[in-house]
Amino acid sequence: MALMISVSGIRGIFGSHLTPENLVTYTAAYGTLLEGGTVVVGRDSRVTGQICEDIVCATLQSVGCNVIKVGIAPTPTVAMGVLKHEAAGGIILTASHNPAQWNALKLLNEKSEFLDADRGRDVIELAQNGDFSYSTYDRIGSVSEDPEAIQTHIDAILELPYIDAELIRKKQFTVAVDAVNGAGSVALPQLLEKLGATVHRLNCEPNGIFPHNPEPLPEHLTEICDFIKSTPCDLGIVTDPDADRLALVDENGRLFGEEYTQVAAFDLMLSKKPGDTATNLSSSRASDDISEKYGQQCHRAAVGEINVVKVMQEKGAVIGGEGNGGVINPDLHPGRDALVGTAMILQLLAERDITASEYRNSLPHYEMSKQKVQLSDLGMDADDLLLEVATRYSDNNPDRTDGVKINFDDGWVHFRKSNTEPIVRVYSEASSAGEAEDLATNVLKVLRGV
């Protein structure tokens, strides 16, 4: 697999596709685009993190950027660092949920947002042209450190007007944490202890050796579920390696479902301040339901964190997120943040005096089906397939923002083409897994003329 370049970053397997050479190339392009200024640099705990950090920091210096290192820290902590230091941008060295052999550059702008498509293209063009502005010896950038970055992030969360730390402390929650030995290994327990919780640490050594597949999906989270079944806990918290995605486990060892992390965050925020919400097209209809409960609208964006952020800003949304466990709270910074998501969940449970399972059972219930369609099976390319879907279901007013999404009374089906494989991804949702799968299957039958 070649180096993957997208709005999600520049990522690949270290040593084969992500090499010191292309780390220098893309970092120099980014630094040149910034025309100097300060860049906050952080990383997750991957074994290759230190060497990547050394290369990136030296390259930034070479193009005249001053570097502030925050070390091993969650992606949202680096974003907070950009705001704290009024920096020109930020770089996080993390391949997110990819396996341990991967690493990546995630690039932030001066607002702590991920680069949008236009700005990303500027970096790519500079990298391809190789026309970098290297500095002379008397103009190279400096390097300093901010050892308080995580504490600053936690303090900002505790200062949010709707986080009542004293109320949460009185509940004396017991929480199990599986940080997959990633960047949340220190930060999450530290936040929880500030909120008076007793913390059971599972996989909280930030050594980059992931004890299980690092993507927080149900099939990878049996350890924490089994732990909670045998050890009394009020809540289980799971993050990916860079701690921007948050999955929850109730006191019975039952998974909340990643889709419902943002739903809970929406519920808390909308109970405190009115306003619309935003999420991506592939996220659960439960986000719409909870927004409508408060008389607000949930706006939909193309898949991708920066796309949700842009829609939030356009619509003035008070809260946003993605169904992969991402909570975007603009009162803090415009990005997914497992730490603020954790505090919001504990606030909700504390003030409503409800268990995690009771709360989850109170929410509208949906199930998703996720399938792949080989284009060779249908005898058409991806664009033709998407056009055919939109044409066949024109009466349903298909959404063409990102692929094609068809809304039905009892659910929806979303078709998106893959950028890396000759397939189309088909996500569907209904009140049960079987019904969700049937929705997608029925649309595919129409396409096949069955």
Residues serving a catalytic function are: 96
Residue 319, CA atoms < 13 Å, CB-side half-sphere: 28
Other C-beta atoms lying within 10 Å of the C-beta of residue 104: 26
Token pair, residue 25, equals: 């190339």
Owner of token pair 């706006």: 299
The two beta strands, 246-249 and 235-239, are antiparallel
CA atoms of 269 and 320, how far apart (whole Å): 10
Residues 6+ apart with CB under 8 A from 417: 382, 383, 385, 386, 403, 423, 424, 425
Query: What is the spatial distance between Cα 349 and Cα 17, in angstroms, rounded to a whole number?
Result: 45
* CA 202/CA 178 separation, integer angstroms: 5
Cβ-contact 331, 321 below 8 angstroms: no
Q: What stretches of 63-221 show up as alpha helix (H) in DSSP?
A: 75-84, 117-129, 149-158, 165-171, 184-194
**Residues 430, 407: Cα–Cα separation, whole Å:** 11
Q: Locate 298 and state its tokens.
A: 């949930």
Cα(173)–Cα(164) distance, integer angstroms: 14
**What's the number of CA atoms in the CB half-sphere (13 Å) around residue 115?**
26
What are the structure tokens assigned to 369, written together? 């089906």
* Residue 73 per-residue DSSP state: -
